[in-house]
Amino acid sequence: MPQEIIIRIGDIIEYSNGQKGLIEKIRIISSGKLVEEYDYDGDGHDLVLTLRCNNSITNLWVKDTRIHKVPGEKKG
């Protein structure tokens, strides 16, 4: 069973193939609601993260994707 973590805007996460991104937005798909933080339990079927990665913006639909927070790294 995946470990539950709390992800927040400003956290840096690591996802597929070691890619990292800074969370800029957290959106609940079913409601369209933007939230400041989310209790992530590994079941990301209803979650989209907007990430700043290097010099680009990526919308990551967290379905069948394993993510984790990068310890000690946060937005300035």
Q: What is each CA distance from 73 to 11, 44, 58, in whole angstroms? A: 7, 22, 19
Does residue 51 fall inside a structural domain? yes
Query: In this predicted model, what pLDDT tens digit does every residue of 24-71 receive, in sequence order?
Result: 999 999 999 999 999 988 777 789 999 999 889 999 998 877 788 888
- Asked, for residue 46, whether it belongs to a domain, the answer is yes
pLDDT score recorded for residue 1: 47
Q: Is the pLDDT of residue 15 over 50?
A: yes
11 in any annotated domain: yes
For the chain, the domain total comes to 1
Does residue 58 belong to any structural domain of this protein?
yes
Cα distance between residue 59 and residue 29, in whole Å: 12
Task: Give residue 65's domain range.
Answer: 5-69
In a domain, 13, yes or no: yes
> Which pLDDT value is given to residue 9?
97
In a domain, 76, yes or no: no
